[in-house]
Chain A
């Protein structure tokens, strides 16, 4: 690991100022992704600003819903009584990711900021537009088994690796951020971005901004009765998703009043399925309807040499997730 300067921030304003003053500074929270990337030489910060002392560790009910501090750990959030009670989908998704040890370290903000696990991004001998803009995409003509089906560009076909974020986007979470100009909110669906011409940019956070928290709307609790997070991976636990599906349904008997669906492992961002949600609204739950929904979800999918299997796997996963959520 390259040497770096280490400072601790005890106030949010001071942490933001560190980012303003030093363009090479990175924020350190749980470190489960950043320290790994630093060991591999993928990122080489000259300064780490340890923000673990900042007061962002509370989960609390607000008038709008549930406010979650950016430094709440993944384990704390997955086990939180209010999350289990009102947003069980989030708990399922978090527990499907990483390992217990990593979830004990990783934070909500850090989970959102984690980088892709694309093999070309983490191998510094390979070209990668995300790591080194302009160097090309190694995955495009390479071993792209884990890669995107939706929203990719000629510059990058990597996927976002998070499970937590798939549930967050399905539940219409809102991201609270703070920068030198003050605070602003970003809808979760607008936080991560598609690669386009700037594969190096994973999200819409400004370099001098930090995430202070995430808020789940009270209305999303209406979906708590019928949820499922289906994660398909190469082994039964502790692996990144080939495809994952988050489903949350508001049911009236067998009628679907409203649906929320999102996928992981298929795009540069957690992939919300708005069209499918519209299609399911008002329909009576049946295997036939679910199969149509799964087919609809795949419109616009584009596979590469080694991930063609996802074109079959993804709709099957959607079908099974819908069946499980309504069982």
Chain B
């Protein structure tokens, strides 16, 4: 299913999938404001340095944003991104899909796992610009309205989490795992879920949830 909606992130309209809870809203706004202040504090120095090194042309070129079209959870987006922006940062900061988490930001924890053209990857190690024309599915794209995905239901039923920070990555990985057919034994599930680290240690319940959900129609 593909809903054709154009989102210009320079002037965001209603942000898809975002619930503006008072607490989370103010915390995010605070973080945004403080990073803006840090950026302003840093900018003059960086520009002076660039000018000194006669880097101004290069600096301008490098900072240039590149147009990018991609589909996220069935919605088409036209955005502009700096080449160094990762897919994870694009999803979280520009598209406001904050379900995908930034844990290690180096491909070691799996909290940022999303599907690209149906295949699970670490979005923290994928430059957004390399995803031109791709179809991305994030945790926000699993449920059908109020109807949770079977894997989400199974995680709740089996207590497949404690703090919840790794959970969206675990669930995205688990959904892909079932499609890959790597669920023939508990050992195989554990091995092929090893890219998702859970510091709370909910592993045994995560495996139970996957064992149950693999038998549902996904």
Q: Which residues of A contact B (CB under 8 A)?
A: 1-6, 28, 31-32, 35-36, 38-40, 46, 48, 50, 52, 75, 98-102, 104-105, 237-238
CB-contact partner of B82 in A3, A48, A104, under 8 A: A3
A102 touches B122 (CB 8 A): yes
A101 touches B121 (CB 8 A): yes
Taking A5-B83, A31-B130, A35-B127 as known contacts, 4 extra A-B pairs with beta carbons closer than 8 A to each other, sorted by chain A number, are A3-B63, A4-B83, A48-B83, A105-B125
Q: Which residues of B contact A (CB under 8 A)?
A: 58-59, 61-63, 66, 82-84, 86, 105-107, 110, 113, 119-122, 125-127, 129-130, 173, 176-177, 180, 182, 190-192, 194-196
A35 touches B86 (CB 8 A): yes
Name the A residues within 8 Å of B119 (CB-CB): 75, 104
Name the A residues within 8 Å of B59 (CB-CB): 3
- Compute how far the CA of A100 lies from the CA of B183 in the bound complex, rounded to whole angstroms: 13
Name the B residues within 8 Å of A238 (CB-CB): 194-195
A4 touches B110 (CB 8 A): no
CB-contact partner of A6 in B58, B83, B110, B121, under 8 A: B83
Residue on A nearest B124 in the bound complex, by CB: A35
- Compute how far the CA of A99 lies from the CA of B59 in the bound complex, rounded to whole angstroms: 36
B62 touches A4 (CB 8 A): yes
Residue on B nearest A239 in the bound complex, by CB: B194
B122 touches A105 (CB 8 A): yes
Name the B residues within 8 Å of A28 (CB-CB): 127, 130
A31 touches B113 (CB 8 A): no
CB-contact partner of B173 in A2, A100, A105, A237, under 8 A: A100
For residue A280, give the distance in angstroms from its CB to the closest CB of chain B.
30
Name the B residues within 8 Å of A5 (CB-CB): 58, 61-62, 83
B194 touches A36 (CB 8 A): no
- Compute how far the CA of A208 lies from the CA of B194 in the bound complex, rounded to whole angstroms: 37
A6 touches B107 (CB 8 A): no
Name the B residues within 8 Å of A3 (CB-CB): 59, 62-63, 82-84
- Compute how far the CA of A6 lies from the CA of B107 in the bound complex, rounded to whole angstroms: 22
- Compute how far the CA of A4 lies from the CA of B62 in the bound complex, rounded to whole angstroms: 5
B130 touches A50 (CB 8 A): yes
What are 18 A-B contacts with C-beta separation under 8 Å? Answer: A1-B84, A4-B62, A5-B61, A6-B83, A6-B127, A31-B130, A32-B122, A35-B125, A36-B106, A36-B125, A38-B84, A98-B195, A99-B107, A99-B110, A100-B182, A104-B119, A104-B120, A105-B121
Name the B residues within 8 Å of A31 (CB-CB): 125-127, 130
A101 touches B122 (CB 8 A): yes
Name the A residues within 8 Å of B176 (CB-CB): 100
From A50, A98, A105, name the one whose CB has the most chain B CB atoms within 10 angstroms: A105
- Compute how far the CA of A32 lies from the CA of B82 in the bound complex, rounded to whole angstroms: 19
For residue A286, give the distance in angstroms from its CB to the closest CB of chain B.
30
B121 touches A104 (CB 8 A): yes
For residue B107, give the distance in angstroms from its CB to the closest CB of chain A.
6
Name the A residues within 8 Å of B82 (CB-CB): 3
- Compute how far the CA of A104 lies from the CA of B122 in the bound complex, rounded to whole angstroms: 9
From A28, A52, A75, A238, name the one whose CB has the most chain B CB atoms within 10 angstroms: A238
For residue B177, give the distance in angstroms from its CB to the closest CB of chain A.
7
For residue A319, give the distance in angstroms from its CB to the closest CB of chain B.
24
Name the B residues within 8 Å of A35 (CB-CB): 86, 125-127
For residue A325, give the distance in angstroms from its CB to the closest CB of chain B.
20
- Compute how far the CA of A6 lies from the CA of B86 in the bound complex, rounded to whole angstroms: 13
- Compute how far the CA of A198 lies from the CA of B58 in the bound complex, rounded to whole angstroms: 31
A101 touches B129 (CB 8 A): no
- Compute how far the CA of A171 lies from the CA of B133 in the bound complex, rounded to whole angstroms: 38
Known: A5-B61, A6-B129. A39 touches B105 (CB 8 A): yes
CB-contact partner of A4 in B84, B122, B180, under 8 A: B84
CB-contact partner of A32 in B58, B107, B196, under 8 A: B107
Name the B residues within 8 Å of A237 (CB-CB): 190-191, 194
From A5, A40, A98, name the one whose CB has the most chain B CB atoms within 10 angstroms: A5
B195 touches A6 (CB 8 A): no
Residue on A nearest B105 in the bound complex, by CB: A39
- Compute how far the CA of A99 lies from the CA of B173 in the bound complex, rounded to whole angstroms: 11
B129 touches A99 (CB 8 A): no
Name the A residues within 8 Å of B86 (CB-CB): 35
